[in-house]
Amino acid sequence: MDIITIGLIIYFFIAFFIAKDLARYRLDDWLINILLSQLIPSRKNRIFAHITSLRLPSLSSQLTNWLLHDWESGLYNINQVLAYSLQLFAVTEAINRALAKTPPEQLLLRLSQLSSEHLEQLRYTWEGNLDSYSNIRFDSPYHAALYGFWELYKINDYWGEEYREKGCLQEAIKAFYQVRSCPYGEEMLTLAQTLATFLDADELVTIAMLQSPAIPPAPLLRYSTWEALDYLVSIIQDARTIQRSASPASRFFALNQALQKLKTLSEKTNNLLQDADIRIVRLIASSWEKSLLRVAEKLKENSITEHVRNPYIVGNPVEGKRFVGREDVMRQLEELWIIDHQLQSVVLYGHRRMGKTSILVNVANRLESPIQLAYVNLLRLGDSPQGVGEVLIAISDEISQAVKLPPPTDADLLNLPYRTFERYLKQVEAKLEGGLIIALDEFEKIEDLIEAKKIPIDFMGFLRGLVQMSSKIAFAFAGLHTLEEMTTDYFQPFFASVIPIHVGFQERAATRQILANPGNEDFPLDYIPEALDEIYALTHGQPYLVQLLGFQLVRRYNDFVFEQGQSRDPVFTVEDVEAVINDPEFFKRGSYYFTGVWGQAARGAEGQQAIMQLLAPHAEGLSLDALAQSTGINDADLQEALHTLKRHDVVEETQGNWRIIVELFRRWVLQQ
């Protein structure tokens, strides 16, 4: 034996049996091979993959010292020893001794750094001291934590055997429950429970029912796993949309989004497969993907193959399932007409195209059967050349349809209108089992006829008498004016006789519902949330404009797909909304609303149109001083004009600035 060999052997013994400070160093591959080869003369001067299973003297003690001194460096060194020897028993004994002496606050952290081979050997060593596998008991935090980590790793040895996967996770839950008070114990318990629950959900309906786990506070032992689980949690939200949405387009969009997230999850976790729980996450993702692909096949069968029937209604009253929102107004009417058992007359007032007609038409569906509603659209009167008799003929005809009682003859109503109509109402009252609501829509037409001298001023006094005639008959007047604005003599009688109900803009939630679920369960198109927000920002919930935008979006989709033959997703985006409102024809199609608001501003307080023209270039609004300087209107008249516009839902004051409420109307004024 030469001097170099003798020196190496001496160095080896010093390193392994004497030098305590060496524990902080790591052994390189070449040194391990040389030192171990010198211990076995028959294998001298070779590089060995494995040498002997005979235990080297004091090796286990030295490895234990290394692990206790510096756990991470010790693990590196024992892995190097295992790579070039068969000293498995010495290594296992060393890890076992070190973990037995590990304080609880470091136990789970150290166990989480062991390989599956280490865990397996430790478990077999421990279980070998038991009477049987079924008698496993957690007699120490170390054994409980060891068993929990081993069960997580064991799942991957039985990949594809579902009963073993779920059984292993249940065993891990039991084990980690014993160490939940240790650092990271609660995290590992929650993680095992979450993985078990997610793995158990393998169909869309069960995935959609899952709840997000309560992630323990940092620091986290399994940060990468929780990060991966975030993707699965977001997929649960998509699954709920797929499961619950009435729109095939909405389900299609959520499905594609979920499948894309699964693809991203696979890419992000590809380099983390050495972590057992990450591999379980991928197993869950694989199961969920199969479920979602089955759903995709079903959705393909329901793809859009013909023109989409347009569910949005522009101009006409919205009826049936398509009537959404207005719960506050409907509730007031129900209280006045159903709950109190004494019918009250009301006036519904609000801006043009706010949905007053739709309310009157639909409230009849909510009335109890003994209560009837006769709807009269006064715009159909025209110029009424026959005077007040012609007005009462129109009202009598609608009452007759509601209560099934023949109306008076036209001749009687034309010759003796007031007396004939009053007698007819008394006949109606006698026949009624419940009550009658006479709804007079577009009530400002009466004012126009009075001003045009087509009907006498005393007609309003006659109506007041009818309102007060019977508790079984009530009137519902709908129009543009509030009672406070009815200041002329012939409107005065109503002040003490009817209850005013304001009909304003739709709420944001109702606007979204009108668009996304327009009363048609088979509506195949959908909106991204940003598109719905943009429509509300443009319309402020003005019902006519909301319906108009929805109508034009569907027309645009049909033209793009079926006329031009191009493909696109059945989901409307902000870009689609912008394309519709930037079409020069859009404001022409909505002219009935825009010109109606503009025309009403020409009546009443002076300066309303001038104020709107000044505000139009300023989306953020102008201060009162700026308006006064620009218009030249005195303070009193300016205040009156502004508050008239405010009552009519045209402008609002925000943080000291006056601005036009409806963005689309502001843009229309800007073009004039």
**Integer Cα distance of 526 and 541 in angstroms:** 18
Judgement on whether residues 339 and 420 belong to the same structural domain of the protein? yes
**Integer Cα distance of 248 and 526 in angstroms:** 8
Give whole-number Cα distances, 657 to 428, 501, 606, 621, 642, in Å: 54, 28, 20, 5, 12
Domain end point (choices 66, 85, 101): 101
- Reading phi first (left if > 0) and then psi (alpha if -120 to 50, else beta), residue 324 is in beta
**DSSP code, position 338:** I
Q: Which of 510, 518, 532, 512 is nearest to 310 (CA)?
A: 518
Strands in 651-654's sheet, in edge-to-edge order, are 622-623, 657-660, 651-654
Mind listing the pLDDT tens digit for each residue in 1-17?
444 444 444 444 444 44
CA 417-475-479 angle, to 5 degrees, is 100
Determine how many CB atoms are found less than 10 A away from the CB of residue 551: 19
Mind listing the pLDDT tens digit for each residue in 218-277?
888 888 888 888 889 999 999 998 888 766 667 777 888 899 999 888 888 877 656 777
With 60 as the cut, is the pLDDT of residue 366 above it? yes
With 80 as the cut, is the pLDDT of residue 212 above it? yes
- Yes or no: say if 325 and 365 are a contact pair by the CB < 8 Å rule: no
Q: Check residues 486 and 418 and name the one with the higher pLDDT.
A: 418
Q: Is there a domain that residue 607 lies in?
A: yes
Q: Is there a domain that residue 279 lies in?
A: no
- Yes or no: say if 615 and 623 are a contact pair by the CB < 8 Å rule: no
Judgement on whether residues 401 and 332 belong to the same structural domain of the protein? yes
Judgement on whether residues 552 and 612 belong to the same structural domain of the protein? no
- Yes or no: say if 397 and 407 are a contact pair by the CB < 8 Å rule: yes
Judgement on whether residues 426 and 345 belong to the same structural domain of the protein? yes
Bridge-based pairing of strands 473-479 and 346-349 is parallel
The set of residues, in sequence order, having a beta carbon less than 8 Å from that of 450 and lying 6+ positions away, is 456, 457, 459, 460, 490
Q: pLDDT category, 156, cuts 50, 70, 90?
A: low
- The pair of structure tokens assigned to 534 is 């943009």
The distance of Cα 122 from the centroid of its chain, to the nearest Å, equals 49
Average pLDDT on 563-574 reads: 84
- The pair of structure tokens assigned to 72 is 């991470």
CATH of the domain at 616: 1.10.10.10
Query: Which amino acid is located at 327 in the chain?
Result: E
The set of residues, in sequence order, having a beta carbon less than 8 Å from that of 496 and lying 6+ positions away, is none
Q: Is there a domain that residue 145 lies in?
A: no
- Yes or no: say if 176 and 189 are a contact pair by the CB < 8 Å rule: yes
Judgement on whether residues 425 and 477 belong to the same structural domain of the protein? yes
Q: Is there a domain that residue 480 lies in?
A: yes
Residue whose structure tokens are 């404009």 = 545
Q: Which of 256, 282, 259 is nearest to 269 (CA)?
A: 282
pLDDT above 70 covers a percentage of the chain that reads 78
Number of domains present in the structure of the chain: 4
CA 486-490-496 angle, to 5 degrees, is 65
**Integer Cα distance of 187 and 415 in angstroms:** 90
Q: pLDDT category, 549, cuts 50, 70, 90?
A: very high
Q: 531: exposed, middle or buried (C-beta count within 10 Å: 0-12, 13-18, 19+)? A: buried
Judgement on whether residues 465 and 515 belong to the same structural domain of the protein? no
Q: Where are the beta strands (DSSP E) in 589-666?
A: 622-623, 651-654, 657-660
Q: Is there a domain that residue 446 lies in?
A: yes
**Integer Cα distance of 112 and 489 in angstroms:** 88
**Integer Cα distance of 402 and 437 in angstroms:** 10
Q: pLDDT category, 75, cuts 50, 70, 90?
A: confident
**Integer Cα distance of 45 and 47 in angstroms:** 7
Which run of H or E residues covers position 223?
helix 223-244
**DSSP code, position 621:** -
Domain end point (choices 541, 562, 589): 589
- Yes or no: say if 510 and 541 are a contact pair by the CB < 8 Å rule: yes
Q: 93: exposed, middle or buried (C-beta count within 10 Å: 0-12, 13-18, 19+)? A: buried
> Reduced to 3 states, what is the DSSP secondary structure of residue 499?
strand
For the ranges 286-300, 325-339, 610-624, the lowest mean pLDDT is seen at 325-339
Judgement on whether residues 472 and 524 belong to the same structural domain of the protein? no
CATH of the domain at 336: 3.40.50.300
Judgement on whether residues 9 and 85 belong to the same structural domain of the protein? yes
**Integer Cα distance of 329 and 470 in angstroms:** 24
Judgement on whether residues 346 and 417 belong to the same structural domain of the protein? yes
Q: Is there a domain that residue 59 lies in?
A: yes
Q: What's residue 17's pLDDT?
A: 46
Q: Is there a domain that residue 228 lies in?
A: no
- The pair of structure tokens assigned to 629 is 């300087």
Domain end point (choices 558, 589, 620): 589
Cα distance from N-terminal residue to C-terminal residue, the chain: 108
Q: What's residue 274's pLDDT?
A: 60
With 80 as the cut, is the pLDDT of residue 315 above it? no
Mind listing the pLDDT tens digit for each residue in 521-540?
567 888 888 999 999 999 99
Please provide the average confidence, as pLDDT, over all residues in the chain: 79
Mind listing the pLDDT tens digit for each residue in 167-201?
788 888 888 888 888 899 898 899 999 998 998 89
**DSSP code, position 601:** T
> Reduced to 3 states, what is the DSSP secondary structure of residue 658?
strand
**Integer Cα distance of 486 and 604 in angstroms:** 11
Give whole-number Cα distances, 139 to 100, 126, 130, in Å: 12, 11, 11
- Yes or no: say if 262 and 288 are a contact pair by the CB < 8 Å rule: yes
Judgement on whether residues 31 and 5 belong to the same structural domain of the protein? yes
With 70 as the cut, is the pLDDT of residue 110 above it? yes
Q: Is there a domain that residue 114 lies in?
A: no
Domain with 67, as residue range(s), is: 1-101
- The pair of structure tokens assigned to 282 is 């991928």
Judgement on whether residues 574 and 600 belong to the same structural domain of the protein? no
The whole model's pTM is what?
A: 0.57
Q: What's residue 9's pLDDT?
A: 45
Judgement on whether residues 538 and 436 belong to the same structural domain of the protein? no
Residue whose structure tokens are 């001023």 = 457
